[in-house]
Amino acid sequence: MPDAYTRGSPMGFSVSGSAAIVFVGVLLAGSILYPTVTNSFDRINSAQSEYNQDVRAMRDTDITIRTASYNASNDTLSVVVENTGATTLTVNTTDVLVDNNYTTTFQSRSVAGSSDTDLWLEGEKLRIEISIDTQPDRVKIATRYGIQAVAEVA
């Protein structure tokens, strides 16, 4: 006596039909999930790679204040900072704090004698001159990667 499956009844087809629908569903779910997961990994990897570059640059960065002096006769504070690290810094992203006051106006800023360049290469000295009425106590220089140097003004 042949059973329902061997006779090709709807019950037999329903099993393979259900399997096909589930299979298509799984494929569809996979095709939704796969690009999302790869995009997410790419996004995190790219952020991690940028972070690693910044950390490497931060470790390679170092600055030293060679002199910080105030000339009372012309009310000028002169600071000479040397790039003692292994990264190229920029003059515009170098912050100057005089007694914790952020300075935005400078009398002059020159790297290795030139005031035209924004690049501050390894081993070069940045000379900053600021007009200020009274002698400040301290000056602080901070670079793009947060590396800082402080000096007492002589």
CB-nearer residue toward another protein: 14 or 67: 14
Which of 58/80 has CB closer to another protein?
Answer: 58
Q: Minimum Å distance from CB 126 to another protein?
A: 16
**Residue 121 engages another protein in binding (rule: CB under 8 A):** no
Work out which of 8, 32, 71, 119 binds another protein, going by CB under 8 A. Answer: 32
* Residue corresponding to tokens 């059973």: 3
Residues 141 and 59: their CA atoms lie apart, in Å, by 17
In the shown chain, the binding pattern of residues 80 to 99 toward another protein, with x for contact by CB under 8 A and - for none, equals -------------x-x-x-x
Q: How far is CA 31 from CA 23, 43, 82, 115, in A?
A: 12, 19, 56, 58
What is the distance between the alpha carbons of residues 109 and 150, in angstroms, rounded to a whole number?
18
Instruction: Work out whether 131 is an interface residue with another protein (CB under 8 A).
Output: no
DSSP element (H, E) containing 68? strand 63-71
The two structure tokens encoding residue 123: 């081993």
Size of the site for another protein (CB under 8 A): 48
Give the Cα separation of 79 and 23 in Å (integer): 72
Choose the stretch contacting another protein; rule: CB under 8 A; options: 45-53, 72-80, 113-121, 126-134.
45-53
The reply on whether position 29 binds another protein by CB under 8 A is yes
One residue of 24, 86, 119, 121 binding another protein per CB under 8 A: 24
What is the distance between the alpha carbons of residues 138 and 154, in angstroms, rounded to a whole number? 9
